[in-house]
């Protein structure tokens, strides 16, 4: 019974984590994952506010909204502390529950020390990403940023930042949480309590990749510990010789799983947890790696989506106007030549015609140059400081 409870707990945890972090992905559109994501991010909080208002009154509701504004609209270390707690608690549980099996049949002694090095490197990358300058645009460097990132006159046009009162360079955005304009703005990361921009994207990518490796490394080592215990305790031999179970994968698998869940449930849960987080980090890193390879940012993907939606509506309006004009002309003049019913059936709708909408990313200079721009930002090159405003 206990093992099934643990399995159910793992499945529920995985479903909630995937729904919360990935529910907006196109692959989950119209599925239970998307609906659960909406409930976790909007619906549950809305019901909670209504409950607080009904039970404790409007003053309690305003208090909750004040906490929300502090956590979501101002710089605060809440998620940073939460990250440190997750790292500390997870490593402590792993050390207390699994280090006693090291060294083992498949795991050597040095993994005790390698795990410490892996966590320390992860913390260093966390500090670099959290406290480094993302590329703040000021009155002193704005002219050089304008030269470094020319306007494409599609999603970026020359305009003044209403808050900073300076010309906003292309690819920059004013972060309302940090209250500053950030060059090559990607997004504001609550986990880092910092914007991800031109200067610290490299640290952010290294952070994602390294934590993916840490989780994968932890899951693999825990799996090797379990495999070593299976061999050292001769579980397969006992099951086949003393219990008469057939020596085949299908026959032994349920008994081995039952043994692990009964004797090593902590290691099983940790392996599942680390495996799930590794998959999520791999997907997140892959998405941002694609953006880096094409020299695009998260903010720019949203801008291009808005531009494509607007352009599609404009094309549809033009096509509708042309079709209406042709229809009026045919009513006033000679009737059109009748077409075959089959040709009319398979004929493409006039609204589906029109000019194809192409994403013309003028900042894409090829994969190698794009990666070099991430590793060595434009504002940290010698040519940036020698440039002068036109």
Which three-class secondary structure state does DSSP give residue 158? coil
**Short-list 74, 302, 12, CA closest to 20:** 12
Residue 361 CB-density burial (10 A; 0-12 exposed, 13-18 middle, 19+ buried): middle
DSSP annotation string for 77-135: SHHHHHHHHHHHHHHHHHHHHHGGG-S-SS--TTHHHHHHHHHHHHHHHHHHHHHS---
At 211, list the tokens: 């934590």
At 163, list the tokens: 């808050």
Task: Round to whole Å and give the CA distance between 135 and 373.
Answer: 13
Among residues 181, 189, 195, 292, the one annotated as catalytic is 189
Produce one character per residue of 275-308: b if its CB has 16 or more CB atoms within 10 Å, e if not: bbbbbbbbeebeebeebbebbbbebbeebbeeee
**Residue 189 is among the residues annotated as catalytic for this protein:** yes
**Short-list 146, 171, 140, CA closest to 390:** 146
DSSP classification of residue 26: G
Which three-class secondary structure state does DSSP give residue 344? helix
* Helix 265-293 vs helix 298-332: crossing angle, to nearest 10: 60
- Which sequence positions are flagged as catalytic? 189
């Amino acid at each position: 019974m206990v093992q099934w409870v643990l399995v159910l707990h793992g499945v529920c945890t995985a479903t909630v984590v995937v729904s919360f972090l990935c529910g907006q992905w196109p692959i989950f559109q119209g599925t239970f994952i998307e609906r659960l994501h909406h409930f976790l991010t909007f619906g549950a909080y809305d019901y909670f506010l209504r409950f607080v208002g009904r039970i404790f009154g409007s003053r309690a509701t305003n208090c909750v909204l004040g906490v929300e504004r502090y956590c979501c609209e101002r710089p605060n270390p809440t998620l940073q502390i939460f990250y440190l707690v997750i790292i500390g608690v997870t490593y402590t549980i792993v050390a207390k529950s699994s280090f006693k099996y090291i060294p083992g049949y498949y795991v050597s002694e040095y993994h005790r020390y390698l795990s410490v090095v892996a966590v320390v490197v992860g913390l260093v990358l966390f500090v670099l990403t959290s406290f480094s300058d993302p590329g703040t645009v000021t009155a002193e460097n704005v002219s050089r940023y304008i030269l470094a990132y020319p306007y494409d006159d599609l999603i970026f046009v020359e305009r003044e930042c209403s808050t900073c009162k300076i010309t906003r360079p292309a690819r920059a955005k004013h972060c309302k949480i940090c209250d500053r304009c950030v060059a090559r703005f990607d997004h504001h990361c609550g986990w880092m309590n910092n914007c991800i921009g031109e200067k610290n994207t490299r640290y952010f990518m290294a952070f994602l990749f390294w934590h993916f490796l840490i989780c994968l490394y932890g899951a693999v080592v825990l799996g090797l510990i379990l495999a070593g215990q299976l061999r050292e305790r001769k579980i397969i031999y006992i099951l086949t010789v003393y219990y008469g179970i057939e020596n085949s994968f299908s026959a032994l698998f349920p008994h081995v799983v039952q043994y692990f869940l009964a004797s090593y449930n902590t290691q099983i849960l940790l392996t599942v947890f680390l495996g799930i987080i590794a998959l999520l980090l791999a997907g997140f890193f892959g998405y941002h790696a694609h953006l880096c390879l094409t020299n695009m940012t998260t903010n720019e993907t949203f801008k291009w989506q808005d531009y494509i939606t607007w352009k599609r509506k404009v094309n549809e309006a033009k096509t509708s106007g042309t079709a209406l004009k042709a229809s009026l002309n045919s009513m006033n003049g000679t009737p059109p030549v009748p077409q075959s019913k089959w040709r009319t059936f398979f004929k493409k709708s006039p609204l589906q015609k029109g000019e194809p909408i192409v994403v013309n990313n003028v900042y894409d200079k090829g994969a190698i140059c794009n990666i070099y721009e991430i590793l060595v930002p434009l504002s940290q090159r010698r040519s940036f400081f020698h440039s002068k405003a036109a």
